[in-house]
Amino acid sequence: MNNIPKANLEDFTSKNSKTKKSFVKKIGIAFQEIGFLVLKGHFLSSSLQENLYKEIRNFFNLSDEIKSSYEIKDGGGQRGYTGFGKESAAGRSVGDLKEFWHFGQDLNTKKYLKKNYAENIKVKELENFNQVGNLAFLELEKTAKLILQALALFLNIDEFYFDKFVNGGNSILRAIHYPPIKEQPKEAERAAAHSDINLITLLMGAQGGGLEVLNRKNHWIEAVAEKDELIINIGDMLSRLTNNFFPSTLHRVVNPAKEFWGSSRYSVPFFMHPIPEMPLNCLPQTYNKKNLKKYDDILAGEFLNQRLKELGLIKN
């Protein structure tokens, strides 16, 4: 497969059962064959997307001193700001050429989650930053729930199997800034090849190219979404749960050609995480005597903690 398949979420919400089944089959095959999908018909409006990018640019244009004041010591980068070059792909010692911000669940509107997660960090300098981020979080979370319902049907399990695990889940909305490149990077990339930790990732159309996906023939292909589209991919948690029935896919953000070094790139992925207590044990129907179980049993929270250590965000 040399192109990222496309689908429209409105087909899944259609009252026509054939249209819904066609959507389920289309995305199930796409995630099996390449692990990536381009999606139209989601809940994130163009106006909200524009407002979010505006607020993100405003934040990353703040001084390094102000941004650093929002970095949480020993927080594992799970809320607030993470400085340039502090995250690296698993197995690499060179930091990626990026800085980022994390929104989690809005505990002001979901007070019942206060005992589970850290508070979001309020940016004093920007009046609308947190409000816009929280709104985008909800719309992407709503979209992701429907994708997981469709995948449950493709797996021949209950359509709402994932709902109890992702309602109030430990999801993250990440705002990434790849600053202009000032000198030839020795080994660093904007984002070195990696697979995501979570169940599924929803990526808004990035402001700037560079995202590449490793297809099943070991060829890097470009992944591009229009302004009204999301790019969706499988994460390692779902890969474990399905015993690689849905394999997670390596992807990267390559450095631009030298004539484009002076431009920033912004990207906003939504990482759909379940509650920490969700078992990631391989579903029984995904393994047998011929296709053995590939992963040990583990809870989502334990797995996340392991991976954050590999990324250098939590110290051993």
Residues found in the chain: 316
> For residue 227, what pLDDT is reported?
84
Amino acid occupying residue 260: F
One digit per residue, the tens of pLDDT, for the chain of length 316 reads 568 899 999 999 998 999 999 999 999 999 999 999 999 999 999 999 999 999 999 999 999 999 999 998 877 778 999 998 776 556 665 667 789 999 999 999 999 999 999 999 999 999 999 999 999 999 999 999 999 999 999 999 999 999 999 999 999 999 999 888 776 766 666 677 888 999 999 998 655 567 899 988 899 988 888 888 999 999 999 999 999 999 998 988 776 667 767 778 898 999 999 999 999 999 999 999 999 999 999 999 999 999 888 877 767 6
Neighbouring residues of 49: CB distance < 8 A, sequence distance ≥ 6? 136, 204, 205, 227
The residue among 25, 43, 31, 97 whose CA lies nearest residue 241 is 31
Mean per-residue pLDDT of the chain = 90
Domains of the chain with bracketed CATH: 6-310 (2.60.120.330)
DSSP secondary structure string for all residues of 90-132: TT--SPPS-EEEEE---TTT-GGGTTTSPPPPP-TT-SSHHHH
Q: SS3 of 228, please?
A: coil
Closest CA to 198 of 104, 130, 287, 314: 104
Please name which of 277, 250, 253, 273 lies closest in space to residue 265, comparing C-alpha atoms. Answer: 253
H or E stretch covering 67: helix 64-68
> Residues 304, 273: contact at Cβ < 8 Å?
yes
Beta pairing class for 172-178 and 191-194: unpaired
Alpha helices in the chain (DSSP H): 9-12, 17-33, 46-60, 64-68, 129-154, 163-166, 236-241, 300-310
The neighbour count for residue 123, using CB atoms within 10 Å, is: 22
H or E, element range at 49: helix 46-60
7 has which bridge partners?
39
Q: In the block, which residue shows the tokens 């990353």?
A: 60
Residue with tokens 């979080």: 137
For 32, the token pair is: 């099996």
